[in-house]
Amino acid sequence: MKSALLQIADIFVLPSYYENFGIAVAEAMAAAIPVIISDGVHICHQVQDSESGWVGETNVTSLVKLISEALQNPQEPQKRGRNARDYALKHYTWNAIAHQVIAAYQDIISQIRNCER
């Protein structure tokens, strides 16, 4: 049901004072849905840097402004949705996460070896 709802959504909005990661945001991104989130969602820097959506403050004025901006130009949400999907596939799939974990362990092993020398 969640996948079906994401497939028909134009925008995903998560105004939160605090989200450790925001898995729902990553799921929307993977479905090529641009996101509007508050800066309390800790994935906000990735959303901003990848232009996968819009990030604002956690208040009504900011969120209304972002939603209005997103809905005024239909091409922009489409572009950001594509960016969102590309970013999610590159960083949030199991395969991508496995590569990140492997790289982290290789870095730890390298640091240990350098300390032993």
pTM: 0.84
pLDDT tens for 27-84 read 999 999 999 999 999 999 999 999 999 999 999 999 999 999 999 999 999 999 999 9
- Domain 2-92 sits in CATH at 3.40.50.2000
Contact (Cβ atoms closer than 8 angstroms) between residue 83 and residue 52: yes
Segments making up each domain of the chain, as ranges:
2-92
